[in-house]
Structure 1
Amino acid sequence: RDPVRHWPIVLVGLLGKILGPIGTLLAALRGTLPWNFGLINLANDLVWWVPFAAALYYAWRIGSAPTAAEPPLPLAEAIAAAASQRGRTLAQLAAAQPVLVLFLRHVGCTFCREALADVSQIREQLAARGVGLAVVHMSGPASAEQLLARYGLDDVDHFSDPAGRLYRAFELSRGAWWQVLGPQVWLRGLKALVRHGLGAIEGDAFQLPGAFLLHRGQIVAAYRYRTAADRPDYLRLVTGSQA
């Protein structure tokens, strides 16, 4: 009912309606299907091209339009205001030790699930270097809890930020269509999808993620994603700043 929020589903539908006629054409050229079988594609596939394309164009126009968001908070104010599910702020966490702060798009994003799997694998190495971990997301606390538990991260402080205040404070931008839907994103997405799956969109699907090493109120190291498909080396981000 909402093509802006569910544009990935609309896109998958359009791809299916495009690949169907292509498959029919190839089969007809090989002689395995009669040419009149293509009449089925007219009623079942081709008629959907225009409405699906129109819905995607509308979602792109809305998603790419500048938002009337409130001005970003200063970093010090933002990290002191937002509280995790345990009632602790990023400022408090980073005062005790350096903290790797992982910003996700939303819990349904397959790349974000991949990112959680990656940081889960280096938890012991982070701890050995005295580095904590925190996760910021745009989803509700309950769905985030379930996903974090799936990757053994249910003990990590996480921050639900559907309004994007922390994202703006850390200067994380919204992506253009090619940054969330370009060919490279699709190729990487197919690989990640097989292993990590895909969930419902919660939050802004155009929001780009990021990773930061935060200590005593200062950003020590930063990686701001250029596309949704980026896969940074989180351990290198940490060790490079500690060298």
Structure 2
Amino acid sequence: MSVALIQQAVDAYEDPLIGENLPASTLQGVLSAYPVVWLQFLRHLGCIYCKGLVIDIRDFLARWTDRAPFLVFVHPNTLEEGRRFFEVHYPGAAHIADPALRLYRLFGVRRASFLSEVHPRNLLRWLTLLKRGFTNEKPTADPWVLHATFLFREGNLIWSYYARRLSDVPTWRRLL
């Protein structure tokens, strides 16, 4: 999806957000509240890849030396499921519950396919995450959505990354 199309959709989106620790109640308000905002779309919160991704982002931002972006997670689960998840994995994190997947569609977040599920890199990442102590749980939200990353500066989209497989992770160092 093009940057221009996403920006137009963001500017037109007026539905109130359902979430916690957000600086505003609208999408445009959230994306404009800080100089740089990192919007991170997640898979369902029981997913082993999702858990690993959240911890990796948390650890990455802890090492950020100055001017870290304001991070907002978007997940396909309910607000209560999100609350329980983030209490364990990233206390205090800002998150938006989007069980209807409206924001996922707005941003063109990809969906997994059978071929993307059985990719060898997924198995390698899964084994790594198991060794780190993560588990996979039964999905309580759409198990087919993938994750995606969007970086906004002063409310304008400046960088995006769309996962192609369950195990895809962008090179976070590019954001420094």
Quickly name the TM-score band, shorter chain normalised.
Answer: 0.7 to 0.9
Aligned runs of 1:1-243 on 2, under 5 Å?
Answer: 74-78=9-13, 81-86=16-21, 88=24, 89-97=26-34, 98-126=36-64, 128-151=66-89, 153-195=90-132, 196-236=134-174, 238-239=175-176
Gaps of at least 5 residues in structure 1 are 1-72
| Cα distance change on mapping 1:132 and 1:80 into 2, 3 Å | farther
Alpha-carbon separation, structure 2, partners of 1:159 and 1:198: 22
CA distance in 2, matches of 1:160, 1:142: 9
Name whichever structure is richer in helix by fraction. Answer: 1
Query: How far, CA to CA, are the matches of 2:43 and 2:50 in structure 1?
Result: 7
- Which structure has the larger Rg over C-alpha atoms? 1
Per the normalisation by structure 2, the TM-score is 0.82
Distance in 1 between the 2:118 and 2:13 partners?
Answer: 30
User: Please, what TM-score do these two structures have when normalized by structure 1?
Assistant: 0.61
Q: Structure 1 pair 126/145, CA: closer, same or farther in 2 (3 Å)? A: farther
Any idea what the Cα deviations from partners look like across 1:168-220, whole Å, max 9, x if unmatched?
11111212111123332123212213321112202221111111112333221
**Higher RCO (CA 8 Å, separation ≥ 6 residues):** 2
Tell me: CA distance 1:235–1:142, structure 2 relative to 1, closer, same or farther (3 Å). farther
Aligned length: 165
